[in-house]
Amino acid sequence: MISFASDYVAGAHPKVLNKLIETNMEILSGYGSDKYCLSAAEKIKKACACPDVDVRFLVGGTQTNQIIIDTMLDSHEGVIAGTTGHISAHEAGAVEYTGHKVITIPCENGKIKAADVKSTLKNFYEDDSYEHMVFPGMVYISFPTEYGTIYKKSELEQIYYVCKEYEIPLFIDGARLGYGLASDECDITLEDLVTLCDVFYIGGTKVGALCGEAVVFTHNNAPKHFLTKIKQHGALLAKGRLLGVQFDALFTDELYFKISRHAIILAGKMKEIFVEKGYSFFIESPTNQQFIILDNKKLEEISSKVNISIWEKYDNTHTVVRFATSWSTTEEDLEYLKGIL
């Protein structure tokens, strides 16, 4: 069945798969020390246009969030995140499992505001009993957010300004980074991102890889003994090549950006279809995830014909449904969708 349920319903992008096939019988060293991990890191470094970035590979998104947060925080610190942030809501407490509180602040359309970050920090240090509270030791945002929205450059600058003022790192969850950067509304590049935060990751799983996330520490600030800490978290692959080879492919000939752009163009067409057909949007999203309010009867009908993802209840007779495009979505898929709406 054709699926708009998510951006991880197909396998790998053919070029990523081909690279796995081509390199399959090569003899390579383990644990991320192979030449593909090295060259992938080098290519990402180049794409970031920054010699000081430190690139590491991990397997999945929750794992990456968990490890970055746990290894960059001191034990008495927590991480500030929006209430709808992935780490706040949908990671089964993976951050708390490592001993750190997720300090939630309000979100609007998935985004947090620099002013709220600032007031959280300010109020904390002005509180007479702050030593009895969890120290806010990092800010976490997603780009794009869980609702498909993206931050403007000026918004990121404001948030990062506050972080620097309070000397805490800004971490950007880029599980869907490609779709954000490829959006028409995006006013930043990958190169910009390096200057706008302390650490971010380039999501592979949802942008054409079978698995894999490339973590970018923006100024040689990877935690000491990071490999050991990855192993300690159970996250080190013996065949680290699996990650290196895929990211090497994704960062050859700008594949990562091209396939992201493809999804965005199709998302734009999908939006037009929904508009044409008179559907209401739950949120205005400029990326590959669209959130549509469906009448429950229509929902039943549609979901018998394509895979979609139920997001949340809207009211007693309506439901918010996510329709996602990805590198694997085709014009034919959209035609079919149009036919059944």
Residue 326 — φ and ψ, nearest 5°?
Answer: -155, -175
Closest CA to 147 of 122, 179, 123, 100: 179
Q: Give the residue with the Cβ less far from a copy of itself, 154 or 232.
A: 232
- Of residues 131-150, which lie at the interface with a copy of itself (CB under 8 A)? 131-135
- Alpha helical stretches, state H, 113-174: 114-126, 153-165
Q: How many angstroms separate the CA atoms of 7 and 47, rounded?
A: 23
Q: Give the residue with the Cβ less far from a copy of itself, 70 or 173.
A: 70
Asked if 315 interacts with a copy of itself (CB under 8 A), we say: no
Render the burial of 149-160: b for 16+ CB within 10 Å, e for the rest. bbbeeebbbbbb
Looking at 3, 285, 290, 325, which residue binds a copy of itself (CB under 8 A)? 3
Q: Least distance in Å: CB of 157 to a copy of itself?
A: 29
Q: Give the residue with the Cβ less far from a copy of itself, 48 or 244.
A: 244
DSSP code for 4: -
Looking at 227, 265, 273, 283, which residue binds a copy of itself (CB under 8 A)? 227
116 touches 106 (CB < 8 A): yes
Looking at 17, 38, 50, 283, which residue binds a copy of itself (CB under 8 A)? 17
Asked if 206 interacts with a copy of itself (CB under 8 A), we say: yes
C-alpha pair distances (Å), 174 with each of 50, 141, 171, 179, 200: 18, 9, 9, 9, 6
- Of residues 229-248, which lie at the interface with a copy of itself (CB under 8 A)? 229, 231-239, 241-242
Q: Which stretch binds a copy of itself (CB under 8 A): 22-30, 107-115, 143-151, 159-167?
A: 22-30
Radius of gyration of the chain (CA): 20
Looking at 225, 253, 275, 300, which residue binds a copy of itself (CB under 8 A)? 225
DSSP code for 131: G
- Of residues 288-307, which lie at the interface with a copy of itself (CB under 8 A)? 307
Q: Which stretch binds a copy of itself (CB under 8 A): 55-63, 186-194, 254-262, 266-274?
A: 55-63
Asked if 322 interacts with a copy of itself (CB under 8 A), we say: no
Q: What would the x/- binding string for a copy of itself be over residues 61 to 90, using CB under 8 A?
A: xxxxxxx--xx--xxx-x----------xx
Asked if 27 interacts with a copy of itself (CB under 8 A), we say: yes
The amino acid at residue 102 is V
Q: Which stretch binds a copy of itself (CB under 8 A): 124-132, 147-155, 157-165, 290-298?
A: 124-132
Q: Least distance in Å: CB of 196 to a copy of itself?
A: 26
Looking at 46, 49, 99, 335, which residue binds a copy of itself (CB under 8 A)? 99
Spatial neighbors of 337 by CB under 8 A, at least 6 apart, are: 2, 4, 270, 273, 306, 323
Q: Give the residue with the Cβ less far from a copy of itself, 197 or 321.
A: 321
Where on the phi/psi map is residue 13: left (φ > 0), alpha (ψ -120 to 50), or beta?
beta
C-alpha pair distances (Å), 127 with each of 118, 120, 122, 161, 165: 14, 11, 9, 22, 18
Pairing of strands 213-217, 280-281: unpaired
- Of residues 175-204, which lie at the interface with a copy of itself (CB under 8 A)? none
Q: Least distance in Å: CB of 111 to a copy of itself?
A: 21
